[in-house]
Amino acid sequence: MFTLLWRKMRNTKWMVLCLFIGFLLAAGMMSTIPIYMDASLQRMLIKDMEQYQIDNNKYPGLYSVTKTLQITADTNAQQATIDDVVSKSDSRINAIGIASENSKTTLIDDCLYIVNGERNGSELSTRLKLIGMTDSLDHMKLVRGELPSKTSVDGVYEGLASEDALKTLGINMGNTYKIVSLAAGVEPYYVKITGVYEQKTDNDSYWAETLDSYLNAIFVDYDMVRNDLMPAGRFNAVNIARRYSLGYHTLDMNRISAVTAELEKDDAFYKEAGYAHEFNVADIIGNYTERAEKLTRILWILQIPAMVMLAFYLFMVSQLNVDRERNEIAVFKSRGASSWQIFGMYAAESGILGIVTLVVAPFIGLVLCQFLGVSNGFLEFVNRTGIAAKITGISIIYALLAVVVFFLTTMIPIIPASKLTIVQYKQSRTKVVKMSLWEKCGVDIVLLAVSFGFLYFYTTNITNSIAEGTFEATGELDPLLFIFSTLMILGFGLLFIRIYPYLLRLVYYVLRPFWTPSQYMAITTVCRSQGGKERFLMLFLVMTFSFGLFSANTARAINNNISDRIYYENGADVVMTEYSLSTSEEGGSSAYVETDFSRYEALDGVEIATKVLVNDNVKLRIANKNVADLTLMAIEPDKFAQTAWFRNDLLPIHWWNYCNALVESRSGVIISRGLAEKSNVSQGDIISFKWGGNDSLDTTVMAIVDYWPGLNPNECDFAVMNYNYVRARTELEPYQIWLKMKDGATSEALYKSIEESMLPLESVKDSSQMLISEKTDPSLQGMNGALTLGFIIIMVMTIIGFLIYWILSIKGRTLQFGILRAMGVSFGEIIGILGYEQLLVSGVSIICAFIIGGVTSDLFVPLFQYMYNVNEQIPPYRVAAMQADYIKMYILIAIMLLGGFAILGAIIRKININKALKLGED
Q: Residue 102: name the closest of 235, 230, 201 by CA.
A: 201
Q: For residue 513, is the peptide bond before it cis, meaning its omega torsion is within 30 degrees of 0?
A: no
pLDDT tens digits for 778-787? 667 667 777 7
pLDDT tens digits for 527-549? 766 555 677 778 888 888 888 88
Give dist(CA 410, CA 424) in Å, integer: 23
Give dist(CA 259, CA 45) in Å, integer: 14
Do 114 and 185 meet the contact criterion of CB atoms below 8 Å apart? no
Task: Answer yes or no: is pLDDT of 506 > 50.
Answer: yes
| pLDDT confidence of residue 491 | 92
Most confident of the ranges 238-252, 310-324, 533-547:
238-252
Q: Strand 189-199 and strand 156-162: pairing?
A: parallel
Q: Grade residue 190 by pLDDT with cuts at 50, 70 and 90.
A: very high
Give dist(CA 326, CA 414) in Å, integer: 9
Q: Strand 140-145 and strand 276-278: pairing?
A: unpaired
Task: Answer yes or no: is pLDDT of 921 > 50.
Answer: no
pLDDT tens digits for 133-168? 999 999 999 999 999 998 988 889 999 999 999 999
Q: Grade residue 227 by pLDDT with cuts at 50, 70 and 90.
A: very high
Task: Answer yes or no: is pLDDT of 917 > 60.
Answer: no
Most confident of the ranges 94-103, 292-301, 792-801:
94-103
Mean pLDDT in residue range 380-395: 68
Task: Answer yes or no: is pLDDT of 843 > 90.
Answer: no
In the chain, the percentage of residues whose pLDDT exceeds 70 is 86
Give dist(CA 402, CA 28) in Å, integer: 9
Taking phi over 0 as left and psi of -120 to 50 as alpha, with beta for the rest, 120 belongs to left
Task: Answer yes or no: is pLDDT of 597 > 60.
Answer: yes
Task: Answer yes or no: is pLDDT of 298 > 90.
Answer: no
Task: Answer yes or no: is pLDDT of 192 > 90.
Answer: yes
Task: Answer yes or no: is pLDDT of 123 > 90.
Answer: no
| pLDDT confidence of residue 610 | 92
Q: 587: how many CB neighbours lie within 10 A of its CB? A: 5
Task: Answer yes or no: is pLDDT of 667 > 90.
Answer: no
| pLDDT confidence of residue 423 | 59
Greater confidence (820 vs 103) lies with 103
| pLDDT confidence of residue 4 | 65
Q: Grade residue 645 by pLDDT with cuts at 50, 70 and 90.
A: very high
Burial of 184 (0-12, 13-18, 19+ CB in 10 A): exposed
What mean pLDDT, rounded, does the chain reach? 81
304-324 vs 326-334: helix axis angle to the nearest 10?
Answer: 60
What does the DSSP 8-state code read for residue 511? S
The gap from C-alpha 625 to its chain's centroid, in whole angstroms, comes to: 53
